[in-house]
Structure 1
Amino acid sequence: MNSNSTDTPTDATLPLTVTLRADATPTTPALTLRPWREEDTAALVEGHRGTPADASASAPAMRTEAEGLRWVRHQRKSWATGARYAFAVLEKTERDGGEGRLLGHVVLKDAAPGRPTAEVGYWTAVPARGQGIAPRALETLTTWAFTTFAPTGLTHLRLLHQVTNPASCRVAEKTGYAFTAIVPASPPDYPADGHLHIRRADG
C-alpha cells in the first residue's frame, strides 16, 4: 500500500484532497481511495442494485440518484467536520493511472487527535463482491488511520458487523481485526446481534 497523504493532523479535520492507493495483486487491480464526489452518484446507485431493501446502515440501499446524492453530500459534510472520513474505492486504470469503476467504500469514524479509539466500516459494490476488494481497501484505510492519528493518541480501531454477515467477519479476520465480543442488537440499523473486532496500533 502507498499513500500520498500521511500528514499528522493538528486539529479534527483533514482536507478533501487525501488520496490513498493500493498496488495491484496477481488477481486484483490497483485501487484508488479518495473522498466521495457528487459525480460518483450514478455509479454509487448502480453499484447498489441488488442490495436488500432492509440493508443495514453500513451498506445502505440506494434506489434513486436522489438518495445517492443525499448520501454523498452527507459523507462530504461529515468529512469537513471531522466526524467521518469516507473514501470511494475505485479501480485504478493501468493505461494512465486514472480512475476506473467504483468498487466499494471504506470509512474511518470518530477519529481525532487525542482520541484513543475510532471505528472503521466498509461495503463492496454488488458487482465487485467476492473479488477480495474489501480486505485490501480496509488494510489501506487501516494503515492510513494509524499513520495519521497514532502520533496524536490513536491506539486501536473498532470494527462492528452483524452476526448475520459472515463475509464481513472474514474481511475482519483477514485484516487483523481480532474478534473481541458480541454486541447486543440495536434496531433499526442493527436488528441482529453484532461482532466487535479490534485492531491495535502496536499489533
Structure 2
Amino acid sequence: MPDLTAPVLPAHAFSRAPQPTVPTGDGLLLRPFRTGDAPAVHAVFQDPVMHRWHLRSAGSEEEVTGWMAQWHAAWAADREAHWAVTEDGGAGRLLGRVALREVRLADGAAEVAYWTAPEARGRRVAARATAALARWALEETGFHRLELLHAVANEASCRVAARTGFALEGTKRRSGLHADGWHDMHLHARLRGD
C-alpha cells in the first residue's frame, strides 16, 4: 500500500556520509566516539548519579568498547547517533555524551539523550551539547521533531531541556523503569522552527 506522504528524511540520511563532528560554538566539540574513550566512559558509569538516572552499568572497559562498536554500527544502520562531548579540538578529556536514539527517518523524529562526567557538571555541558545537537539535527539535517525524556525527579535534566528550547508536553506516568522502581517521566519536545 503506498504512503500518502513522502518521508521527512531519506533512507540512509546518516549512513551516506561519515558521522560529523559538531562544534558547539562556545568551546565544546561533539565528535564520534573512539576506542580510546573506553576508560573514561567506564569511569563515568561508576558514578552513583549515573546509577540513579541511567539504565545501564559498565562492568569493564571491554564492555564499553563493545558499546562503541554498537554505536558506530547504529550510525551505519541509520538507527542512532552517539557523540562524545569534549573540549573544542577533540583531544581534550571526555566531558559527556549526547545522542539521537529511536531515530525514525520517515517521520523526521528522534529522541535526545545525554549524560555528563562528574567533573563536568555545573558547567552547562549537557545544555551546550544538546543545543548543538538540536541545531545539527533540526536545521542542518532536516529532522522535524526531537523528543527528550527524563525522570520527573531529575531536576537537572529538566533544566537542560528548558535551557535548550525543549517545551514540556506532559508526564508519562510510571513509564521509566529505573533501579529503584518505576518513575514518572517528563516528555519535552522541540520542533524545527521553534
TM-score between the two structures when normalised by the length of structure 2 = 0.83
Query: Partner letter of residue 198 of structure 1?
Result: A
Structure 2 residue corresponding to 1:136, chosen from 119, 125, 128: 128
Whole-angstrom distance in 2 between the partners of 1:181 and 1:98: 36
1:103 shift after superposition: 0.3
Whole-angstrom distance in 2 between the partners of 1:53 and 1:143: 26
Whole-angstrom distance in 1 between the partners of 2:109 and 2:58: 30
The size of the alignment, in residue pairs, is: 183
Whole-angstrom distance in 2 between the partners of 1:110 and 1:147: 19
For the residue of structure 2 that corresponds to 1:193, the secondary structure is strand
Q: 1:21 to 1:9 in 2, by over 3 A?
A: farther
2:10–2:106 contact (8 Å) kept in structure 1: no
Q: Does 1:171 align with 2:160?
A: yes
Whole-angstrom distance in 2 between the partners of 1:17 and 1:181: 32
1:112 shift after superposition: 4.9
Instruction: Name the Cα RMSD after superposition.
Output: 2.2
TM-score between the two structures when normalised by the length of structure 1 = 0.80
Q: Which runs of 5+ in 1 are unaligned?
A: 1-7, 25-29
> Which position in structure 2 is the counterpart of 1:159?
148
Whole-angstrom distance in 1 between the partners of 2:169 and 2:74: 28
1:48 shift after superposition: 3.0
Structure 2 residue corresponding to 1:39, chosen from 27, 36, 42: 36
Alignment map for 1:22-171 (pairs within 5 Å)? 22-24=24-26, 30-52=27-49, 54-57=51-54, 60-92=56-88, 97-150=89-142, 154-171=143-160
Q: 1:70 to 1:195 in 2, by over 3 A?
A: same
**Deviation digits for residues 82-109 of structure 1 (CA, Å, limit 9, x no counterpart):** 11011010112xxxx4520100000112
Q: 1:159 to 1:49 in 2, by over 3 A?
A: same
Q: Does 1:184 align with 2:164?
A: no
2:45–2:51 contact (8 Å) kept in structure 1: no
Q: 1:171 to 1:90 in 2, by over 3 A?
A: same
For the residue of structure 2 that corresponds to 1:168, the secondary structure is helix
Q: Which runs of 5+ in 2 are unaligned?
A: 1-8
Whole-angstrom distance in 1 between the partners of 2:155 and 2:183: 13
1:23 shift after superposition: 2.6
Query: Partner letter of residue 192 of structure 1?
Result: H
**Deviation digits for residues 96-134 of structure 1 (CA, Å, limit 9, x no counterpart):** x45201000001123354323221111111121111101
1:82–1:110 contact (8 Å) kept in structure 2: no
